[in-house]
Amino acid sequence: MPRYPHIAPTIAGMTGSVYSSLAHRLQAFDGETYPFHIGDTWMEPAVGTRMEDLTVADYPGMHRYAPVQGRRDLLDVISTRTLERTGTAAEPSDILVTAGATGALGAIIGAITEAGDEVLLLAPYWPLISGIVRSSRATPVDVPLIGEADSPETALDIVKSYLTDRTVAIYWNSPNNPTGRVIPKSWIEALVAWAISEDLWILADEVYEDYVFHGEHTYARPLAPERTFSIHSCSKAFGMAGNRCGYAVGPGDKMRHVRKVSTHTFYSTPTAAQIAARRALAGPGDVWAAEAREKYTEIGNAAASRLGIEPPEGSTFLFLDVAEFLDGEGLMGFLSKCVERGILLAPGPSFGPYPTHVRFCYTAVPPEVTARGVEALARLLER
């Protein structure tokens, strides 16, 4: 029982943002800055999908509440898109429109776990997922796998070693944030088969599905629609992260429970954001994504080449091991040296047990700015 002035131990024990002091120093930096720590895009969303395009004349009542599950026209277009993309039908009852992927995963994990239940997180992972599990009072379990396993068999050997009586679900995100890797189809198939054999829920974070540069994205839901929740985002797909609109697709008889949690955490997804998403999904969004994909590929390849690492397969990130540049001040010392050059990077421990890594987003600022920042980073890394 915390009572005043005590915070709940679970939350008190969580680390807050590690950026604030570094970001503050970056603001004071005298010169061009490179905020590579954020996962965002410099591109404005497609004409026709911006807030200025949504008028009260066209959409009377558009500032009022939307239905908690989502607007019917948006559910319908997501239903169609899901069938087209995955080959597996999704009824509107299988779909929940959410406050981004964060809102989706919070509601799903809230619905399937009780305090102390464990969720396996294939690492490196999206940095919010660990805190989402913890905020739900479940226990995140880091499973370093991407970059470690080299076949479906070794991937299974790794996940099996983390299974306990408390494990209830397995989470992965592919195309992967932060590594830029795409998990191969044979691995996804093996992981799904194993999850089925162990009665686990599957959480497939597919928000970068539109950003695959090499290889192919494998949708998990068709392999086990009865137990898979797939998570999608208009933030990444269409450059509208500030709108807070994503969606989850899962088994309809379970989604009604997920809706109970979403209703009590963010209530409904912003109405205007849903209209913008509907308009993007009608065509302009895919055109925008195709253009973005082409640009992102070029920038990602150029950055990887200059930094002397493998080109990204997908997402919008590179993940670098900077162990050889760390001194007694460790990773924070390195990040501090970056800030002295105007560069802000995300620290490896946000993504799992990676004390000597940093993540770099190459789409947050315009390409020419990114190029200059990469040059500054390459020089710091003596490359």
Tell which positions 112-131 bind a second copy, by CB under 8 A: 112-115, 117, 128, 131
Q: Which is nearer to a second copy, 8 or 287 (CB)?
A: 8
347 lies in the binding site for a second copy (CB under 8 A)? no
Looking at residues 51 to 90 of the shown chain, list those that interact with a second copy (rule: CB under 8 A): 51-56, 60-66, 68
5-11: long-range pairs with CB below 8 Å, 24+: 10/134, 10/135, 10/137, 11/135
Stretch that binds a second copy, among 75-83, 94-102, 314-322, 326-334 (CB under 8 A): 94-102
Distance, in Å, from the CA atom of 62 to the CA atom of 82, rounded to the nearest integer, reads 26
Q: Which is nearer to a second copy, 46 or 343 (CB)?
A: 46
Q: How far is the CB of 221 from a second copy (least distance, A)?
A: 14
Looking at residues 154 to 193 of the shown chain, list those that interact with a second copy (rule: CB under 8 A): 165-168
Token pair recorded at residue 174: 């592919």
State whether the Cα torsion 206-95-195-87 is positive or negative.
negative
121 and 130 in contact (C-beta within 8 Å)?
A: yes
Distance, in Å, from the CA atom of 150 to the CA atom of 70, rounded to the nearest integer, reads 40
Distance, in Å, from the CA atom of 36 to the CA atom of 376, rounded to the nearest integer, reads 12
Query: Which of 74, 237, 248, 273 forms a contact with a second copy (CB under 8 A)?
Result: 273
Query: Which of 244, 279, 357, 359 forms a contact with a second copy (CB under 8 A)?
Result: 244
Q: What is the side-by-side order of every strand in the sheet holding 228-233? A: 95-98, 246-249, 228-233, 201-205, 167-173, 118-123, 139-144
Q: Which helix (H) or strand (E) holds 101?
A: helix 100-112
Token pair recorded at residue 380: 């710091």
277 lies in the binding site for a second copy (CB under 8 A)? no
Stretch that binds a second copy, among 35-43, 76-84, 180-188, 289-297 (CB under 8 A): 35-43
Stretch that binds a second copy, among 6-14, 83-91, 155-163, 183-191 (CB under 8 A): 6-14
Q: What is the contact mask toward a second copy in residues 301 to 330, using x (rule: CB under 8 A)?
A: ------------------------------
Q: Which is nearer to a second copy, 126 or 319 (CB)?
A: 126
